[in-house]
Amino acid sequence: MNETALKELLYKVADDLLILGHRNSEWTGFGPLLEEDIAFSSMAQDKIGQSHALYTILNSLGESDPDTIAFTRNANQFHNCMLVELPNGEYDFSLIRHFLYDTAEAIRFEMLSTSSFQPIADLSKKIRAELRYHTLHANTWVKQLGTATEESISKLQQALDYTMPFALGMFEESPYEKELIEGGIFGGEKALKEKWVKKVEEIISQTRLRLLDWKVVQPVMGGRTGKHSEYLQPLLDEMSEVFRIDPSAEW
């Protein structure tokens, strides 16, 4: 098994989950209604839990322990796509990001559930239920707000148009696509993107939202190789503040 390729895959998936989990948790206490605040916070917690599980697998492959991986790297050492690090903005953006990201995440783990690397196949099966809820939540909101009022439709539409180039950056290919596919570890970013496009179209077609022509949207790449926006480092500084003050702190 190509361990470099495998680790690259695990790092990017885990980093996406950690950073988006942290971003989404920033809504805790500020959600648009109490029930949504609770649901969104729970899902943020799920994502951080999922990233922890992946960092634990990386640890078993010889990498540092999960806390060290999560809290001591600088922005340019993170492999997350830029989509997940963008500031929350208004709820329409956070919701559309949640929809576009979680749709991809659910498909990615569905593909990984048949991986030749057993620990990731096992984890995929274990978290399937969580992802089912995350996508149910995202799809239901998008369908509801995407058909509700002129205001909700136009807000979601603007968020969708703004977010799409970043969303396509999720599928930035790794240098090891061929090794991953041939080794049966992961079916590759191209295959994932194809399935994702179908699913996104299926949900959006049930609303009054429109998708831009896929061919004209320019993906925002670079995140997978450590190139990030100005927003990632401040997030990391805040996330790791307690750890940096006292690495042995427990609560």
Partner 1 sequence: MKSLDPRVNRLPVIGVPGQILPKATLDQFGTYEVFVQPKDGKPFQHEGIVHAPDLEMGFVLAKEAFTRRFTCVSLYVTDTRNVYVSPMTDGTVSAYDFVHDVEPQSGEKTSYEIYHLLKRGKQHQHMGTVQAVTPQEAMLEAKKVFKTDKVAFNIWAVRTSDIRFTTPEEKELWLTLPEKKFRDAADYKGGDKLKEFLERQN
Residues interacting with partner 1, by CB under 8 A? 26-27, 30, 33-36, 38-39, 42-43, 45, 49, 87-90, 126-130, 132-133, 136-137, 140-141, 144, 148, 230-231, 234-235, 251
Residue closer to partner 1, measured from CB, 35 or 150: 35
Residue (of 156, 138, 128) closest to 98 by Cα position: 138
Considering the complex, state which of residue 14 and residue 138 has its C-beta at the smaller distance from partner 1. Answer: 138
Residue 188 structure tokens: 């590759």
- Residue 228 CB, shortest distance to partner 1, in Å, is 14
Within its chain, how far is the Cα of 34 from the centroid?
Answer: 24
Task: Please report how close the Cβ of residue 37 comes to partner 1 at its closest, in angstroms.
Answer: 10
Instruction: Please report how close the Cβ of residue 149 comes to partner 1 at its closest, in angstroms.
Output: 10
Least spacing, CB of residue 87 vs partner 1, in Å? 5
Cβ nearer to partner 1, comparing 88 with 225: 88
CB of 130 vs partner 1, minimal distance in Å: 6
Smallest Cα–Cα separation from 26: which of 231, 164, 249, 245?
A: 231
Distance CA 158, CA 243 (A): 38
CA distance 130 to 245: 33
Whose CA is closest to 22, among 221, 222, 232?
Answer: 232
Q: How far is the CB of 30 from partner 1 (least distance, A)?
A: 5
Nearer to partner 1, 32 or 219 (CB): 32
| Encoded tokens for 234 | 């401040």
Q: Is 30 or 214 the residue whose CB approaches partner 1 more closely?
A: 30
Q: Contact, 102 vs 135, CB < 8 A?
A: yes
The Cα 238–Cα 227 span in angstroms is 19
**What stretch of H or E contains 195?**
helix 189-204
Q: What is the DSSP letter of 213?
A: P
Contact 4/176 with Cβ under 8 angstroms? yes
Q: Smallest distance, Å, CB 233 to partner 1? A: 11
Residue (2 or 28) nearer to partner 1, CB: 28
Of 96 and 127, nearer to partner 1 (C-beta) is 127
The structure tokens listed for 47 are: 């994502």
